[in-house]
Amino acid sequence: MRIHFYKYQGTGNDFVMIDNRNEMFPKNNASLINQLCDRRFGVGADGLILLENADDADFTMVYFNADGTESTMCGNGGRCLVAFANQLNIIIEKATFNAVDGLHHATFNDGIVSLQMIDVTKVETHKNYFFLDTGSPHHIEMVTEIKQVDVKNRGAKIRNGAPYFKEGTNVNFVEAVSDNSIKVRTFERGVEDETLSCGTGVTAAAIATFNAGITKENNIDIEVLGGKLSVSFIKDNDTYKNVFLTGPATFVFKATIEI
């Protein structure tokens, strides 16, 4: 089988992108998706994204983890998909697309994508961590020396431990820098390792730190290993609305692979 694909990255969070409007890609083949995402035996990526048709939007996003399982929302993947749709001439500057967590709106301008995320209605505050869902579940833990954190091992223990167990969670370690800036490192389930960036993760971290009074402004700058992102929002009573994740989405290359 010959598969034509595009490679994109958003602050180091990288994806195999496939135009599946003809519905020819065998998306139930988890082993194939895993092989394409494998960094030694395939293309190499944190996930695979299919762009498909939609009746009520510009397109549909279908996201798979690197292990081949269909997953919850991916913020950086959604931003990269908007840039991909622009490259395919499906959209120009504005996009509306369906994802597993609902309808999303986005803008594309000179390589920068601003993606509207879902509203957040609940931020759980626990003794040593926060938990919230920004389209994907996120455990948020504050640290003081983020460079020293063993993200892979600590994240793996939390990912399947109490109270998450089988379903698991993404795990974010966050260091406060100022009233409007933080640093974030993320262990992603499905990748089962630290990634250079996680869009839903930085969104969760920005909201959680603001909700706890750790940050003071509703437009937060975030430094990740792969670069810089920003998250803005409006707090309306206990609900976070107009949540936008903004940053670069970059085309890397396109090719055909024989599987």
Distances 35 to 30, 75, 77 between C-alpha atoms, Å: 9, 23, 19
With the C-alpha atoms ordered 80, 83, 85, 91, is the resulting torsion angle positive or negative?
positive
Buried b (16+ CB within 10 A) or exposed e, 75-90: bbbbbbbbbbbbbeeb
- List of residues 6+ apart from 52 with CB closer than 8 A: 20, 21, 23, 59, 60, 61, 62
Whether the upstream peptide bond of residue 137 has omega within 30° of 0, thus cis, is: no
Are 239 and 120 in contact by the 8 Å Cβ rule? The answer is yes
CB atoms within 10 A of CB 165: 10
Q: CA–CA separation, 229 vs 245, rounded Å?
A: 7
At residue 55, the 3 state secondary structure works out as coil
Q: CA–CA separation, 257 vs 259, rounded Å?
A: 6
Q: CA–CA separation, 224 vs 128, rounded Å?
A: 22
Instruction: Kindly list the catalytic residues.
Output: 74, 198
Are 214 and 176 in contact by the 8 Å Cβ rule? The answer is yes
